[in-house]
Amino acid sequence: MEKYKVVFHINESNKWSTLLANVNNLIKDLGKDNVIVEVVANGTAVSDYVSDSNKDDNNLINKVSEAINFGVKFLACKNSLASNKIDERLIPEFITVIPAGVTELVKKQAAGYGYIKP
């Protein structure tokens, strides 16, 4: 059977917990080998990719790392990093920085991915 494919779109910082719960539920339900999941962050959502040493350990970066272990790919929009004045070098290496988040959303849907905006 061909794998299901989906791109999640997040552009607001306060939607991360919902998005990660959605991703976890999807993988738990379909099984990680049956679905390809990609998360495209643009807008203010990209700011959460930067680790904050003042926060406790249970932060977004840890949860993202867990999802990556299930094969989920996380991307950050370079335009959004610039407009939110975030130094690209602060983005963890397991996050892929792409020129434009919207282009990725268009290309993935053209390649048969479903779209979900939590």
Residues making contact with a second copy (CB under 8 A)? 4-6, 9, 11, 18, 21-23, 25-26, 28-30, 35, 42-43, 77, 79, 83, 99-103, 105-110, 112, 114-118
- What's the Cα-to-Cα distance from 29 to each of 12, 34, 104, rounded to whole Å? 26, 10, 25
Here the tokens at position 19 are 């998005």
Q: Work out how close the CB of 53 gets to a second copy at its nearest, in angstroms, rounded to a whole number.
A: 30
CB 38 within 8 A of CB 73: yes
Q: What are phi and psi of 108, to 5 degrees?
A: -65, -40
Q: Work out how close the CB of 88 gets to a second copy at its nearest, in angstroms, rounded to a whole number.
A: 16
Q: Report the alpha-carbon distance of residue 108 to residue 100 in Å, rounded.
A: 13
Task: Give the HSE-up count for residue 107: Cα atoms under 13 Å, Cβ half-sphere.
Answer: 9
Q: Which is nearer to a second copy, 19 or 60 (CB)?
A: 19
Q: Which is nearer to a second copy, 71 or 112 (CB)?
A: 112
Q: Work out how close the CB of 26 gets to a second copy at its nearest, in angstroms, rounded to a whole number.
A: 4
Q: Which is nearer to a second copy, 51 or 97 (CB)?
A: 97
